């Protein structure tokens, strides 16, 4: 087959952009040999000369994104600017010009995905976004194609490397949240403003993308119950460990009755024998339970320069070979063509719970608390009065059998109103692996 | 988009075939909705009426494969006959008629893959074979496309569910190999004649497929050093555990100097903290180390009716959507277009070793043995004289630092020639995870 040349226009040359440049330049011969395509980096566009990378002299740098997109020598536009405003404008411009776009920008997909996908269809081109969730793990392709024969019943995993790094440090070193965050920032695993990550919003945006593809519906961030790791106490990590659990920030989508989805991102007690408990540092792991395949899991680096670039370049290849175009047009699973999700209200969730009370050290408190739990139909599985509270409070750790979220929240409100409870009660959900339905 | 109808001709209706029938019939509406294609099962061909499945009355059964393949209403041929002779004849017939073939038949690929792929190219059609390795795990697509931007440095994993089931039972229940095999056969995890599985040949055929795609070269079974699990002693599993290891049958491909590959399938001591140590029962797991993504792992069911059918139907969809055709023709990584592998001779392998001697209970034996090891440049890491030998032999367990396979084999030959060594020495390789080269 005659060799084809494909011109790449790279918008943004920060962390991931530099990784893409590195692969396209250093692995050019390998890519050509594998794909039969010679990928030429024809434009590297940044905002201003102050953003030029160290090796700018060797690169086709410019600062006029519009001209680079419109140039006839640009075949594929790779958007790695981040944010939604500027990035959205350029992605739209490329798509309207009929040029396919590769992006890692989950925030852009969350805010303008539907509209941009429609524009792409109108221009008979496509968008590829493997790097928008799971970093370098090719999970989007796996869900879209590899599992296409399956009715997926549950998808859950660790999809935010920053939170997982912080939780791993808190668990392994006994650090406080603040200490672990500081270390994550020092090592580049957390941004100066870590809110999007530690509040769980980044994980929710990724879950929206993954769940939408897995369950063939349109999921937005606001469909997802979100609770971050920024209010976790080192004490709870210690107590959880004593109970045989590790605390992880899980993103969860589960099919419930009536095809409704339970969608949530929250710190979760995961049993120490669960494979997700062993996912450490900045790694990601995504478990999928489906009717034919049963349980399957994908594990790898969910962020970082080279892992993310790996996914971006895989998308570039897929677009250049015409594969992404076929997928984009034929698979009826993208957010602009699927119906909106039907969400199970969060208060209907059935879960087991870890509850930590900060009680006054006096007789009768436990009787009051257990009476309230009992009145709300919440059955206690274990109860432990612990040492280690501050300000003369006594930590009491309770785990429950399966209970209803709404009942638990009502009970906790009543408990926190007791004069003998000195601080807001901490409640972390215990997540058991879904049952595997697959026959051998 | 106007809905397309695609006619499926299924050759063979055994375990996996029944799973494919189940998905195509029961998930027909879901598949149509997702893909825009209505998959019609138009022929189910078996050898004779005695092979008709229980629900034959509801299916388009026949016994004339040639007629079914040639029928104009057959768009895709799915070969699930197994074996190489009959299956090869029908696959060739389909390809010569320009009809794409989906197959799970690794033995066929091992024996006639190159020839059949060439025929497919000549007829401008394609072969899809996701189910031929890793069962339901979409690992072939991941390596071919998801990791296409990576120089892969190592691929290792558990790819034979039968062996893993047997080893898990031996480890968890302390069973002998014979007991565990019998149980595996009772539960349908092992065949009446388990040789292909327990001797490691099935794993080697899968490794040939995976390594060929990962390293872009043609790998055949004979390029791979193979040693099975059928000679393992329950004692060694116990001793390994005491040292902190689990014994797994690993399939390994590693890039060595001069782009040569170390290719091997053998029982391996895996550290208990290694994620592969936790892969139990009939599950498979494949670790890949690559230059951009770093370490990634795929986990799931590597065999069985529905998991394998999941991969077969994913291939059917991919073929029907034209995706597999594009891939087959553009990715220059298939066995008929890549150069033959350059293999690192097995005796050049550098590994750590677990060695168990059956020594006479008398003074001086250890001095003799360690002298021989020292003369061959093999450095001892630990040495333990154990209880538990039969016939008044004393088991002595030695682990070594990194040593050369050739030297170890020569040393063991000398050791076994000693009058004080009463049975052949057992030697199992200790497999450490490759270093991860990826930058964060």
CATH number for the domain harbouring residue A215: 3.30.360.10
Pair of tokens at residue A268: 């979760």
Same domain as B89, residue B152: no
Same domain as A350, residue A290: no
pLDDT tens, position by position, A8-62: 999 999 999 999 999 999 999 999 999 999 999 999 999 999 999 999 999 999 9
For testing contact with chain B, the best of A6, A24, A121, A149 (most B CBs within 10 A) = A149
CA A206 remoteness from chain centre: 4
Same domain as B169, residue B98: no
Residue A300 and residue B323: Cβ atoms within 8 Å?
Answer: no
Please state the pTM of the whole predicted model.
0.95
Same domain as B111, residue B185: no
| Sign of CA pseudo-dihedral A212, A213, A214, A217 | positive
Residue at B221 is within a domain = yes
Residues paired with residue A423 on neighbouring β-strands, in sequence order: A358
pLDDT tens, position by position, A155-196: 999 999 999 999 999 999 999 999 999 999 999 888 899 999
Neighbouring CB atoms inside 10 A of B59's CB total 17
Domain count, chain A: 3
pLDDT tens, position by position, B195-246: 999 999 999 999 999 999 999 999 999 999 999 999 899 999 999 999 999 9
Same domain as A153, residue A295: yes
Same domain as B127, residue B247: no
| Sign of CA pseudo-dihedral A28, A23, A324, A118 | negative
DSSP structural state of residue A74: -
Average pLDDT value for chain A: 95
Ranges A102-106, A348-352, B35-39, B230-234: which has the least confidence = B230-234
Pairing of strands B76-79, A421-430: unpaired
Quick one: what percent of chain A has pLDDT higher than 70?
Answer: 98
Q: What confidence score (pLDDT) does residue B390 get?
A: 67
pLDDT tier at B126, thresholds 50, 70, 90: very high
Element holding A102 (H helix, E strand): strand A101-103
Assess whether pLDDT exceeds 70 at residue B293: yes
Backbone angles phi, psi at B378, to 5 degrees: -100, 120
pLDDT tens, position by position, B369-389: 999 999 999 999 999 998 766
DSSP structural state of residue B415: H
pLDDT tens, position by position, B148-157: 999 999 999 9
For testing contact with chain B, the best of A76, A146, A187 (most B CBs within 10 A) = A146
- B392-418: average pLDDT: 96
- Report the residue from A293, A314, A333 with minimal CB separation from B301: A293
Same domain as B106, residue B32: yes
Residues paired with residue B261 on neighbouring β-strands, in sequence order: B255, B343
Q: What confidence score (pLDDT) does residue B282 get?
A: 87
Q: What confidence score (pLDDT) does residue A108 get?
A: 96
Residue B333 and residue A141: Cβ atoms within 8 Å?
Answer: no
Pair of tokens at residue A351: 């879960």
ipTM, two decimals, is 0.95
Quick one: what percent of chain B has pLDDT higher than 90?
Answer: 90
- Cβ-in-10-Å burial (0-12, 13-18, 19+) of A50 comes to exposed
Pair of tokens at residue B409: 């084999």
Same domain as B157, residue B276: yes
- Per DSSP, the residues of A373-399 read HHHTTPPEEEEEE-S--STTEEEEEEE
Same domain as A266, residue A229: yes
Residue A281: domain span: 146-301
Residue at B313 is within a domain = no
B chain contacts of residue A304, beta-carbon cutoff 8 Å? 438-440
CATH at B9: 3.40.50.720
Residue at A251 is within a domain = yes
Same domain as B286, residue B151: yes
pLDDT tens, position by position, A63-81: 999 999 999 999 999 999 9
Q: What confidence score (pLDDT) does residue A439 get?
A: 35
CA B386 remoteness from chain centre: 34
Assess whether pLDDT exceeds 60 at residue A221: yes
The residue written with tokens 């073929």 in the block is B319
Q: What confidence score (pLDDT) does residue B3 get?
A: 79
pLDDT tens, position by position, A238-274: 999 999 999 999 999 999 998 899 999 999 999 998 8
Same domain as A218, residue A82: no
Residue at A340 is within a domain = no
SS3 B322: coil
Return the active site residues of A: 206
pLDDT tier at A290, thresholds 50, 70, 90: very high
Q: Which residue of A has its CA nearest to B2?
A: A330
**Residues with Cβ within 8 Å of residue A122, at least 6 apart in sequence:** none
Pair of tokens at residue A57: 């002299």
Q: What confidence score (pLDDT) does residue B436 get?
A: 62
Same domain as B283, residue B150: yes
Which of A248, A282, A301 is where one domain is finished? A301
**Is the CB of residue B277 less than 8 Å from the CB of residue B135?**
no
- Report the residue from A35, A312, A313 with minimal CB separation from B331: A35
CATH at A366: 3.30.70.260
Which of A108, A132, A156 is where one domain is finished? A132
| Sign of CA pseudo-dihedral A157, A163, A168, A170 | negative
Q: What confidence score (pLDDT) does residue A188 get?
A: 85
Q: What confidence score (pLDDT) does residue A282 get?
A: 87
Which of B243, B266, B299 is where one domain is finished? B299
Distance CA B288, CA B296 (A): 5
């Amino acid at each position: 087959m005659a060799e084809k040349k494909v011109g790449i226009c790279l918008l943004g040359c920060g962390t991931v952009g530099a990784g893409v440049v590195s692969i396209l330049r250093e692995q050019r011969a390998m890519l050509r040999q594998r794909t039969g395509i010679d990928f030429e980096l024809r434009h590297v566009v940044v905002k201003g000369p102050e953003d030029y990378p160290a090796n700018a002299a060797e690169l086709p740098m410019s600062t006029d994104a519009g001209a680079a997109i419109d140039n006839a020598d640009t075949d594929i536009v790779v958007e790695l600017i981040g944010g939604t405003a500027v990035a959205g404008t350029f992605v739209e411009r490329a798509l309207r010009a009929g040029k396919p776009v590769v992006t890692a920008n989950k925030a852009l997909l969350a805010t303008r995905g539907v509209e941009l996908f429609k524009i792409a269809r109108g221009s008979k081109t496509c968008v590829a976004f493997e790097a928008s969730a799971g970093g370098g793990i090719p999970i989007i392709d796996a869900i879209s194609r590899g599992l296409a024969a399956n009715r997926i019943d549950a998808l859950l995993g660790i999809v935010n490397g920053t939170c997982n790094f912080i939780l791993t440090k808190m668990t392994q070193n006994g650090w406080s949240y603040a200490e672990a965050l500081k270390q994550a920032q020092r090592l580049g695993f957390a941004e100066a403003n870590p809110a999007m990550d530690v509040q769980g919003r980044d994980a929710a945006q990724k879950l929206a993308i993954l769940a939408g593809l897995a369950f063939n519906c349109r999921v937005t961030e606001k469909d997802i119950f979100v609770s971050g790791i920024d209010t976790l106490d080192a004490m709870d990590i210690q107590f959880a460990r004593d109970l045989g659990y590790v605390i992880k920030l899980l993103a969860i989508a589960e099919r419930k009755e009536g095809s409704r989805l339970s969608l949530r991102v929250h710190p979760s007690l995961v049993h120490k024998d669960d494979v997700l408990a062993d996912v450490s540092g900045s790694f990601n792991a995504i478990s999928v339970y489906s009717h034919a395949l049963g349980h399957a899991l994908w594990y790898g680096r969910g962020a970082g320069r080279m892992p993310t670039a790996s996914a971006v370049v895989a998308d570039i290849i897929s677009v250049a070979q015409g594969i992404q175009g076929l997928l984009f047009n034929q698979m009826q699973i993208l957010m602009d063509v699927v119906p909106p999700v039907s969400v199970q209200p969060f208060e209907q969730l059935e879960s087991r719970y870890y509850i930590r009370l900060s009680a006054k050290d006096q007789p009768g408190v436990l009787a009051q608390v257990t009476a309230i739990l009992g009145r709300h139909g919440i059955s206690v599985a274990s109860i432990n009065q612990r040492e280690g509270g501050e300000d003369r409070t006594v930590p009491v750790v309770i785990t429950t059998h399966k209970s209803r979220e709404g009942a638990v929240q009502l009970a906790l409100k009543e408990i926190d109103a007791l004069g003998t409870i000195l601080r807001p009660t901490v409640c972390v959900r215990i997540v058991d692996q879904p049952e595997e339905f697959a026959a051998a």
